[in-house]
Chain A
Amino acid sequence: MRVMAQVAMVMNLDKCIGCHTCSVTCKQTWTNRTGVEYAWFNNVETKPGVGYPRRYEDQEHWKGGWMLDRRGRLVLRSGGRLKRLASLFSNPDLPAIEDYYEPVTYDYDNLVTASAGHDVPVARPRSVLTGKPTSITWGANWEDGLGGASETAGGDPNLSGGLAEKVRFEFEQTFMFHLPRLCEHCLNPACVSACPSGAMYKRVEDGIVLVDQDRCRGWRMCVTACPYKKVYINHATGKAEKCTFCFPRIEAGQPTVCSETCVGRLRYLGLVLYDADRVGEAAATPDEKDLLEAQRDVFLDPADPDVRAAARESGIPEDWIDAARRSPVRALISEYKVALPLHPEYRTLPMVWYVPPLSPVLDAVGEAGGNAEDPDHVFAAVTRLRIPLDYLANLFAAGDTDVVAGVLMKLTALRSYMRQRTLGEQGDDAALKAVGLTPTQAEDMHRLLAIAKYADRYVIPAAHKEDAAALSAMENRCPVESSGDPGEPAVERKIMLGIPTLRRRSTAGDDLAGGAA
């Protein structure tokens, strides 16, 4: 047993209102620079919807993640090592900027400098890439709130079989929810495995997956390999960039920016202990539908004395082991089993998990004339209403509807029981029994899901003082010193031949015509 600690996240999707505050604060912190205008380390997409980049979940096309070959061995879907090196010159499976969207700015200047006239001056959109006027035809969440989804959402790769047609034609009765996404900081990261230069790595201490900006040579294989398309090319520096899980904050014991600023308070952060020796085995589980259970099996129980001893032996500090015990993420994943991984079938063992939304089912119950307050109606709906259930199963359980139905019933039973309790009634625990919960568990779960305070939602042990030397060494190595802010003195950025002193600064933005912000 080789115990490793992982900082992981769970999001409670029923609480997401799609306000994009996480995306915006993340962008302000990490990607408000030239070269990554189009990149959202954290984005929120409307589901059903094609996602960002377009149809990224279609791995037949984009070749992300892992698969089992004919002999049952775990291989990257984008091909073996030789094939990867052979496609260095032109990567056939790399999304183009059109698959994300063309980033724009606006002619704000025109609003104040336009000469007096009969027409109100307007700020027209201008491509950040070319500096030329452009029309906006796509974005990172183009179908926000299902807008235009009747035209585009049929392209959602999760709408398999007849689902697409049903969603399209029963548009008024359909469902929607928001899906915030960031790097999954996988236990079995495909991006790391595909990096020809060995620039990508998983940190031993906290499992955060990072790109070493000094070692990245811009071979762009990580972008293809990541099935979530959460590694981006900075087109100004020619290097890969990705979500850092806000490691400087995590090291200080603070939550990530997206979690800190989440309006719905739907994010949970905490440690998960896992057995690194069993990661490969779990990822190679033959049946896709067993991957969820296989990944749960890789996680270790920090209450178990053997695990604690092994963790100490692996060099995990005592306060980290304690933090793992108090981890809300561990509780939601392993104890209450209401959190599910996004697309376990990609076999990367992702570490950002989701409590699936009950609202699509409740909406459907309401549409069908049932009582969304009555657990029996909801239970019946969960087993009968295929559209939301199949869809959620395709997202969170490799198509296994039983898993999703189990979680939704648990949430339903919890709601019904706690409603009765809150109204001063005794509480009928028949529904709880049906989903395998005790009243105490229900109270605990309710506390965690509904009323958990800051300190309960984010249980992050600070990095250790004995590592401080190494950490302060990192301080000078921050990959994003340049804000790309046009207010910065341009002189510093203009250098003959455009290289050496450009360390940490991007070149290309200089050549842009004015407006690009």
Chain B
Amino acid sequence: MSASSTPLTAVNGTDLLLWVAIPYTCLAVFAVGHVWRYRKDQFGWTSRTSQLLEHRWLRWGSPLFHLGAFAVIGGHVVGLAVPASWTRAVGISEHAYHTAAVALGSVAGVAMVVGLGMLCARRLLAPRIRTRTSHSDKLLFPLLSATVLLGIAATVVHNIAGGGYDYRSTVSVWFRGLFALQPQPEAITGAPLLFQLHALTACLLFAAWPFTRLVHVWSAPIGYLRRPYLVYRRTAATTTYGSHPGSAQHKPAAPKVTR
């Protein structure tokens, strides 16, 4: 890790552990865990759909959660990865930024919380789902819920009810420091407890990620939009795509071989 920046010596051991050691460990587990699981466990790599067994709660809960999560993730990318100086440079004032962030974030956050609530509820209340809940789910659902609730709580307490807390000059600095390999634990040590807890549970969530059903995120089937409809394979396992009026209207014949 970085030996160049002096601030590392200026914080005590606990902070070093919480804001440097744990995040890096979690990220390492995240990365190595994914490589390992992808290579070892393609069979277990799935969204683990349970719609067959229960669909009434899922009907609303799942889209609310997923769409809310997309917006929340997008918000985090902007809030954490983009320095405040950049948004100021394009003429967005601090006030305007926070108003927009709180407004959009609230909608997304509420959707995600309601959705996750419904998904948790069916997992607890629908006997068919409950008995089919795996160990990894028993880890994932509480961890994800804790992260989401702490994030919402931090926003409500400090940015909606409170006077407004500028996490972009503290939490975000710490976050970017991790990836710049110049950890700045001191940036987050002064942040409110809720933000700190949110950051820590998020780290744990990332560490757990490769071992849970969350891996299905990386299999989002974007390629389907461009793939020809029919898939042929030889037993030697090369994939051939066939022609089809539904997919390749104007170019019949000539199968393309990929992979």
Contact surface of A with B, Cβ cutoff 8 Å: 2, 66, 73-76, 81-82, 84-85, 88-92, 94-97, 129-132, 188-189, 192-193, 195-198, 200-205, 213-220, 233, 235-239, 276-277, 279-281, 283-284, 463, 467, 469-471, 473-474, 495-500, 502-504, 507-508, 511-512
Of A76, A97, A500, which one neighbours B246 at CB under 8 angstroms? A76
Contact string against A for B residues 120-146, beta-carbon threshold 8 Å, 1 for contact and 0 otherwise: 000000011001111111010000000
Task: Considering the complex, give the chain A residue whose CB is closest to the CB of B226.
Answer: A81
Of B41, B127, B230, which one neighbours A130 at CB under 8 angstroms? B127
Q: Are B53 and A129 in contact (CB under 8 A)?
A: yes
Q: Are B51 and A91 in contact (CB under 8 A)?
A: yes
Q: Are B37 and A193 in contact (CB under 8 A)?
A: no
- Across the interface, which residues of B come within 8 angstroms of A508, CB to CB? 131-134
Of A95, A201, A218, A281, which one neighbours B48 at CB under 8 angstroms? A218
State the Cβ distance, A144 to closest chain B Cβ, in Å: 24
Docked complex Cα distance between A498 and B211 (Å)? 9
Q: Are B245 and A217 in contact (CB under 8 A)?
A: no
Task: Considering the complex, give the chain A residue whose CB is closest to the CB of B245.
Answer: A280
Task: Considering the complex, give the chain B residue whose CB is closest to the CB of A200.
Answer: B231
Q: Are A280 and B244 in contact (CB under 8 A)?
A: yes
| Interface positions of B from 214 to 250, Cβ below 8 Å from A | 216, 219, 221-225, 227, 229-237, 239-240, 242-247, 249
State the Cβ distance, B135 to closest chain A Cβ, in Å: 4
Q: Are B230 and A189 in contact (CB under 8 A)?
A: yes
- Across the interface, which residues of A come within 8 angstroms of B237, CB to CB? 470, 473
- Across the interface, which residues of A come within 8 angstroms of B243, CB to CB? 277, 280
| Interface positions of B from 33 to 90, Cβ below 8 Å from A | 36-37, 40-53, 55, 58-60, 62-63, 65-67
State the Cβ distance, A154 to closest chain B Cβ, in Å: 26
Asked if A90 meets B240 with Cβ closer than 8 Å, knowing A192-B231, A202-B233, A470-B235, the reply is no
Q: Are B235 and A192 in contact (CB under 8 A)?
A: no
Q: Are A90 and B219 in contact (CB under 8 A)?
A: no
State the Cβ distance, B15 to closest chain A Cβ, in Å: 30
Asked if A238 meets B229 with Cβ closer than 8 Å, knowing A73-B249, A276-B242, A471-B235, the reply is no
- Across the interface, which residues of B come within 8 angstroms of A499, CB to CB? 37, 41, 44, 134, 136, 211-212
Does B253 lie at the interface of the complex (its beta carbon under 8 Å from any beta carbon of A)?
yes
Q: Are A75 and B235 in contact (CB under 8 A)?
A: no
Docked complex Cα distance between A90 and B255 (Å)? 33
Q: Are B47 and A218 in contact (CB under 8 A)?
A: yes
